[in-house]
Copies of this chain bind each other. A is one copy, B any other.
């Protein structure tokens, strides 16, 4: 049996049966477009008749040197004959001419990368016949000149310029602006000139035989698979080079053959809002290109209901049918040729984040997809969109086109005045409170201070892993990079875009979500996190996820926001943040600097009411939900003035002293010197060469037990207070930085004694848990031992990543880590996405160890990775109890957790 190289659009079932019904294999064989045209045909959607030459034929052709594989051409001729029957036209027959398009179509879409030839089948004879049939020489000659140009360019490799030059000359000669204004006669002469160009540049005459045209066009599409452009694209998109492309030969239909003709594109639902009605544009008596080119003002597709109500109803029904079939919103191309509607293409439509959410929810409501599928349809990034300022579509429309665009490397909208250097950006931002957009050819580590001060970042070069992109994402700054059309002249303090000059200090707006750059200050909006569709989607996600989603929150108002966003607990309340408040810091400093035990005790006691009030507020906000309170963690010197500042102050004071000739002034200066000197001594005593690895966490608790005892007292006094108000309070006390089980066992003893004492004083029993962070490799390795003294463990993946990698985040993220990322030594920033191969393995050991000791132990994670979708998938795999992340990331985490669970379900 000879191989079947060619399938008519009506033979999709045959193709399907050849591959046992595996639709992926159908797409592999026919290409995405061919399979789709076949599928639509099977559905009874009016698709212009045609056929597909398989990817297998392409591969056989490319592998050999003998031209088309055996039998292919005869199968093409047979398929063409079938099309002739179906259309009642004949290829090359001037009396009822059949024209076809020849289009590539690989398994995966490679937009713009491969070639198409339209109007194949025209020659001088056919043209004459068509003019007779249509009485529209302008249309026919225009079609013909397009064929000659495309054929010349695509099949014979003639550059576009000579063709364009001819067109320009005719426009000039006739004093018109557009090609459409040229007369039929002009077009006829242009065809002749085009033929000459083809002959001259390719040393091959434009073939007059339609079959030769078809043969050469198919061959050209085959060859384009191995073109440099296509290969580069596949390399970048990780598409295999051995898939081959299919070739689709489709009957040409024309939307420009009169007033009973039209052409347009439409989405089955609103791609911006997600509303359930057709949305799109069309033109009467026009070709597809005209709609896209924007040379004529298009009409909204709703108008078609008035202009061609029958056509509109038919289209609407088809759209519904396709949506039902593909179970998603469709993006369709259609043409009405003399009152007959043809669908030329359908595919799942692109949409905004809001639309994605609404469409997914509504499709589920309509029963088209399950709720699980709805949850899987929306990406966490799309949910993230709701959490960043954005430009509204209206705002964008009002300012018109962006002046430039680049890579959308860090989402969100930012508006500010242009600053071309980081120092200026910093000065404007900090000293003049101006919003600034830092604009640079590219950024370097030296620029980071300016990047941090700016609202957004924009560069003219660099890619997704450039310094600017990494830093921007890191710090959540909107950024557009690699906007190559910006001509930045830093020394002249000006940039030029498309001839427009933008000076330092001028306003621009950048959209890091889309990569667009606008002149002027656009209005931003914060999308509605309480969007009803999002709320419903997330509530479904909540049903499917296994992981709890908790929040890191240090203040009552954080806790409230977290709860509003769906947090099921507080996974990390950092008690020391409370110490930095202006009214408290002096007490904290007194506590640290005094050498008198009594004074220290007094200072500690003075902090108690503050802490108690903070905790009470958080407990009230989290009524009925667990709150994990971490005892003091950072090194004490963080609460004191910096060594450098003190040294500088002292040096300044000494210089004042030398220059002063005034006794009272000298006395006053001396007083300050003494004071600062004393502080400096204490700061020096507390200085550490590596504070990250120094006296902090539980080590502090062991050395200054009165401090942690006070914190535990504050927790339990607050708990008793709110419990009396009727609040259901569930405190969990967390010891930071444990590395050895003995630290935990000792601290647990001390702190539980204090907790019991408070509960006895208050005559109230508060249920509570005691646990520790796992943020030191040794803690992960010995989690089996720690689990004996802990009801819960919480992975602090920020610190754990630092110690497991031996990397100080403070130093590395603006230093060698950037180089590691740009050189690909590390696949991603391990502080953003968990390093599964290293830190993850360690976590796995810790989880296994802890569960071996206590199968029911509560294990969570409270590092930044708790809000990162890729990391969340891993945490789900580890079967952690919950992830805890910033209140703003809660919705993202809820969705990501659900997707992780659903994907795991599919895998198993």
Contacts and interface: CB of A to CB of B under 8 A. Distances in A.
A562 to B, nearest CB: 29
A816 B636 CA distance: 14
Contacts of A699: 816
Interface stretch (A157-165, A597-605, A665-673, A690-698): A690-698
B825 A805 contact: no
A839 interface: yes
A807 B695 CA distance: 9
Interface string A805-847: 1111011100110011001111000000001011101100100
Interface stretch (A738-746, A853-861, A864-872): A738-746
A740 B785 CA distance: 28
A688 B808 contact: yes
Interface stretch (A513-521, A532-540, A650-658, A751-759): A650-658
Specify how many copies of this chain sit in the oligomer.
2
B654 A808 contact: no
A272 interface: no
A688 B838 CA distance: 24
Given A658-B655, A777-B777, A802 B693 contact: yes
A647 interface: yes
A805 B776 contact: yes
A819 B743 CA distance: 12
B702 A781 contact: no
A737 B739 CA distance: 22
Contact of A816 (B655, B690, B703, B810): B703
B695 A692 contact: no
Contacts of A823: 702, 746
A781 B692 contact: no
A677 to B, nearest CB: 14
A695 B739 contact: no
A809 to B, nearest CB: 9
Contact of A825 (B644, B702, B802): B702
A659 interface: yes
Given A806-B803, A819-B702, A825-B743, A811 B781 contact: no
A811 B690 CA distance: 7
Contacts of A644: 647
A807 B737 CA distance: 10
Interface string A762-789: 0000000000000111100110010000
A688 B811 contact: yes
A651 B655 CA distance: 9
A295 interface: no
Nearest to A644: B647
Nearest to A690: B808
A111 to B, nearest CB: 32
Contacts of A819: 702-703
A804 interface: yes
A737 B816 CA distance: 14
B655 A776 contact: no
Contacts of A689: 691-692, 808, 810-811
Nearest to A817: B699
Interface string A695-720: 10001001100000000000000000
Given A777-B777, A837-B782, A808 B743 contact: no
A811 B694 contact: yes
A742 B835 CA distance: 13
A728 B782 CA distance: 45
Contact of A695 (B658, B690, B804, B815): B815
Nearest to A777: B777
Interface of A: 644, 647-648, 651, 654-655, 658-659, 688-695, 699, 702-703, 737, 739-740, 742-743, 746, 775-778, 781-782, 785, 799, 802-808, 810-812, 815-816, 819-820, 823-826, 835, 837-839, 841-842, 845
22 contacts: A644-B647, A655-B655, A688-B811, A689-B691, A690-B808, A693-B807, A693-B808, A695-B812, A695-B815, A702-B819, A703-B819, A739-B838, A742-B824, A777-B803, A778-B835, A778-B838, A778-B842, A781-B804, A781-B842, A782-B838, A799-B806, A845-B845
Which 10 interchain pairs have the tightest Cβ spacing? A693-B808, A690-B808, A776-B806, A651-B651, A777-B777, A778-B838, A688-B811, A689-B810, A690-B692, A694-B811
Given A776-B805, A845-B845, 14 more contacts: A647-B647, A647-B651, A658-B658, A689-B691, A693-B802, A693-B812, A703-B816, A739-B838, A740-B825, A742-B824, A743-B825, A778-B805, A778-B806, A778-B842
